Amino acid sequence: MKTAVYPGSFDPITNGHLDIINRSLRIFDRLVVAVLENKDKNPLFSTQERVAQLKEITKDMGNVEVRSFSGLLVDFCESVDSKIIIRGLRGVTDFSYEFQMALTNRSMDNDIETLFVSADTQYLFFSSSMVKEVAHFGGNIDNMVPPSVKEALKKKFPNLV
């Protein structure tokens, strides 16, 4: 059984993330979505909230597991018996950081492969930070996030309807 790991902050999950998950599931038998416990990034949603949101959204998707992790990603991959890391690319601006991360992870474990997946063009410009900014000012985020995430954002941003 081929397992891949899709790590990220998912603060919050967007339709771009969901598209990457769906595309990865066409390639791998099992996908572990790994929510980073990014303490110093001051996330809007707690790790527990982000894991719960992702579990709810992916519950009918088949072989998706949602876990949280801290520490080295290569150690997390080992713990779920995977050598494959999935990352999304939105364009050249993502590339230099992602490439550096991929090579750093491989320097720690030569068997690790990072695969880059691009989302459908309609989702390509979505990012969690942009969603939060639009939501903060009460803009329309209906096409950017799943309905359950919009409901969660409404509780954080009173301007959002």
The structure tokens 């080992």 sit at: 78
Task: Determine contact, residues 89/98, Cβ cutoff 8 Å.
Answer: yes
* Least distance in angstroms from the C-beta of 127 to ligand ADP: 5
User: Could you confirm whether 128 is annotated as catalytic?
Assistant: yes
Letters for 13-42 (x = contact with ligand ADP by CB under 6 A, - = none) are -x-xx--x----------------------
Whole-angstrom Cα distance, residue 20 to residue 119?
6
User: Could you confirm whether 41 is annotated as catalytic?
Assistant: yes
User: Could you confirm whether 129 is annotated as catalytic?
Assistant: no
List the interface residues with ligand ADP, window 126-155 (CB under 6 A).
126-128
Q: How many helices (H) and strands (E) does the chain have?
A: 6, 5
Task: Count the Cβ atoms, other than its own, within 10 Å of residue 37.
Answer: 17
Indicate the DSSP class of residue 139.
-
* Least distance in angstroms from the C-beta of 59 to ligand ADP: 20
Which two tokens mark 18? 């969901």
Q: Tell me the Ramachandran region of residue 106: left when phi exceeds 0, alpha when psi lies from -120 to 50, beta otherwise.
A: alpha
Q: Which of 80, 124, 130, 134 binds ligand ADP (CB under 6 A)?
A: 124
Size of the residue set binding ligand ADP (CB under 6 A): 17
The set of catalytic residues is: 17, 41, 90, 128
Q: Interface with ligand ADP by CB under 6 A: which residues?
A: 8-10, 14, 16-17, 20, 87-88, 90, 94, 119, 123-124, 126-128
